[in-house]
Structure 1
Amino acid sequence: MNGPEILVQVAPELGLFVPQAWRSGAAAPLVTDGVSTLGHAVESLGVPLTEVGELVVDGAAVPTGHVPAAGEHVEVHPVTRPQAVPGAPLRFLLDVHLGTLARRLRLLGVDTAYESTDIGDPALAARSAAERRVLLSRDRGLLRRRELWAGGYVYSDKPDNQLRDVLGRFAPALTPWTRCTACNGPLAEARKEDVADRVEGGTRATYDVFAQCTDCARVYWRGAHHDRLEAMVGAAMEEFGPAPAPDRP
């Protein structure tokens, strides 16, 4: 680039994406080509537009299509949390590296598609657009694909932090124990006699309450890991679930 020079100030929350000169939160010069959009300039610094909220030029908000002129002062703000996503219902698509997060979102009843094999960035982006799903990934290049419907960068590599990040950012409706953690299908109550041939004898003798996925037929019951899962669900509901109804007088 050898065109107009602008000053770009990147919010500290986005510092992990940009070169050292912009990580302090102070404005630093950036030479543009004079014809590309501000969105292109921001992406050239390494920030996926999925992570950008308001762009402010000389004190006024502008769209990503704004073409910057010499001397302009640009502020790059992060997305506002909770982030509004157009359309309904809110649904997610996770890439191959986020399997644990996918299972935890499904445990909370959040519609979460997940690719257990690497189908490639173009196919993931196309599925996001076709099914109107928010694509979650730690792959910055994937989140820069133009065909994406919507996306979000997952900032942590730790599943506990990933879950809190996604729930805090997108505020999906939580309906625990309603989705299959294996395939994302809806769960329905199942009679013990109807699933007897799908569970071991010890399980049949010990448990009486079952649920079954209406898509893949997987059977669920309150087994050895239920207390741990219950604690996880309880913590998520306490922090991100709906506010309790006020007591009636």
Structure 2
Amino acid sequence: MKQIFILDMPLGKLAKKLRILGFNTTYYNNITYDELEKIVFKNSNYIVLTKSTKFYESLYNKYNILFIKSDNWKSQLRFLVMKLKLKINISKMFSRCIICNSKLIQVEKENYREFIPDYVYSTINNFKYCKHCKKVYWRGTHVENMIKDLFKILK
């Protein structure tokens, strides 16, 4: 079964990392816990991740919910990988927009020239695009460094 996550407000950094790893991750930084519960009610497939003991206690009998104890996203990610036995698939990494969670599409760089810095345009050939955020992504050295860091954390 695919993991579909929804995270509460204090878990923004973790949400971004889960998206980088290719996991379907819903995150809103400006909603109440009542609004969050309504969203979860409409989609019971979510795995709810929360830092709030009160929210956890109100939902743990109804939904698939995990309480995240740590304040550090690295520890949070390690905890999730161990607890849920998450499989990290390199081919799915960087397949989602880190801002809105939409799936990225492969695009021809010529069509997105105005969004790409000159040096990147001349040295990189593969680009992905978020239709929702209108953001262009590419795999530069920052991505390679991020991959190394994530795998160090997950060891």
TM-score bracket for the superposition, by shorter chain length: 0.7 to 0.9
Q: Of the two, which has the highest radius of gyration? A: 1
**C-alpha separation between the residues in 1 aligned to 2:129 and 2:11?**
24
Computed over aligned residues only, the root mean square deviation of the Cα atoms, in angstroms, reads: 2.1
**C-alpha separation between the residues in 2 aligned to 1:233 and 1:189?**
23
Hey, what does 1:127 align to over in structure 2? Answer: 39
Amino acid at match of 2:49: L
- Per-residue deviation, 1:148: 5.1
Structure 1 pair 148–202 and aligned structure 2 pair: CA distance change class (3 A): farther
Hey, what does 2:69 align to over in structure 1? Answer: 155
**C-alpha separation between the residues in 1 aligned to 2:149 and 2:101?**
18
Structure 1 pair 148–219 and aligned structure 2 pair: CA distance change class (3 A): farther
**C-alpha separation between the residues in 2 aligned to 1:215 and 1:172?**
27
| Structure (1 or 2) with the greater helix fraction | 2
1:167 aligns with 2:84: no
Percent of aligned pairs sharing the same letter: 25
Structure 1 pair 126–173 and aligned structure 2 pair: CA distance change class (3 A): farther
- Per-residue deviation, 1:162: 0.6
Match of 2:134 among 207, 217, 230: 217
**C-alpha separation between the residues in 2 aligned to 1:148 and 1:127?**
13
Of 165-174 and 89-98, deviating more is 165-174
Could you tell me which runs of 5 or more consecutive residues in structure 1 were left unpaired when the two chains were aligned. 1-87, 240-249
Q: Which has the higher contact order (CA 8 A, sep 6+)?
A: 2
Structure 1 pair 177–231 and aligned structure 2 pair: CA distance change class (3 A): same
Q: In 2, are the aligned partners of 1:140 and 1:153 still within 8 Å (CA)?
A: yes
Residue correspondences, number = 150
Q: In 1, are the aligned partners of 2:81 and 2:87 still within 8 Å (CA)?
A: no
Moved over 6 A (4+): none
Normalising by structure 1, we get a TM-score of: 0.55
Superimposed CA distance per residue, residues 54-102 of structure 1 (whole angstroms, 9 cap, x where no aligned partner):
xxxxxxxxxxxxxxxxxxxxxxxxxxxxxxxxxx432111111111101
1:232 aligns with 2:149: yes
Hey, what does 1:104 align to over in structure 2? Answer: 17
**C-alpha separation between the residues in 2 aligned to 1:171 and 1:216?**
31
- Per-residue deviation, 1:206: 3.3
Match of 1:205 among 117, 122, 135: 122
Hey, what does 1:92 align to over in structure 2? Answer: 5
Hey, what does 1:140 align to over in structure 2? Answer: 53
**C-alpha separation between the residues in 1 aligned to 2:37 and 2:62?**
5
Q: In 1, are the aligned partners of 2:20 and 2:96 still within 8 Å (CA)?
A: yes
Amino acid at match of 1:123: E
**C-alpha separation between the residues in 1 aligned to 2:85 and 2:132?**
26
